[in-house]
Amino acid sequence: MNPSTVTPFLQEKCHIDKIYIDDNDFIEIAVPNYRKDIGTMVSGGVDSALVAYLLAYTVKKYNTGTKIFPITTEFMARPCNIKGAYNVLRTIENLLDMQFGQHLIFPTPNHLEDVTDEDKKRLFSLNIDEYRSRYHLLFIGNGLTANPPIEEVPDTNFVRQVERDDREQVLKKLNQKTTQFPLLFSDKKAVGKLYKKLGLIDTLFPVTRSCEAETEESKNHTLTCFDFKPKGDECWWCRERAYGFQEYKPELFNGYN
């Protein structure tokens, strides 16, 4: 059995709701049980969009005056996250009749060849720690999910994040007491079920984006791999999206199976 994704530090400070995926499985969403602000990472993808929606829904439910600050990093080698995040946030605001706090944005200069993965992690931590301190955030939500089974979504040239397959490394995420990972043990199939159950398939899902194709080939990130690549050549992220959502939106995935 998986442990709670709400850290002991947050359990005593939060309302915790169970959001059921089906009759047996659920995720947990925690929001402050007093007037205290939070942040949430928003990339424009389906996972972070779902976490942002559930946090906003639950904050509104308990009406504690909590403000949610969305946080986006723009990867400069393939700039599309700000646009995607903006569309997600405005859609959630319209769906829930609420308003997010200031959208906090910082660049990740991965267009520079000498910027290493360690540099990117360091810059990410530096900015997140600054936001957490400056805006007095109790925690920051993160939409990290579990990997799908490799036989369901095989590797392509853009490979899966293998660290998500290492349970020991995954469990270490829960040591980050001021970060909340509601989807840590759920893969895209579970995410798809939640979108369907919450009535988001035709509202929030269409404005999200998962494709990692380059700027030129995707026509400035307006197309996905399923629009222009031969079957079997899609990026891994498009395949993962299809794994979770093709049963609800088969027309978007060009017969992927």
| C-alpha to C-alpha distance for 72 and 142, rounded to whole angstroms | 11
Q: Amino acid identity, residue 117?
A: D
Q: Which two tokens stand for residue 12?
A: 């005593």
Q: Quick one: what percent of the chain has pLDDT higher than 70?
A: 93
| C-alpha to C-alpha distance for 96 and 57, rounded to whole angstroms | 7
**Superfamily covering domain 8-252:** HUPs (3.40.50.620)
- What pTM was computed for the model? 0.92
The string of pLDDT tens digits covering residues 183-240 is 999 999 999 999 999 999 999 999 999 988 877 888 888 889 899 988 888 888 999 9
**Residue extents of the structural domains in the chain:** 8-252
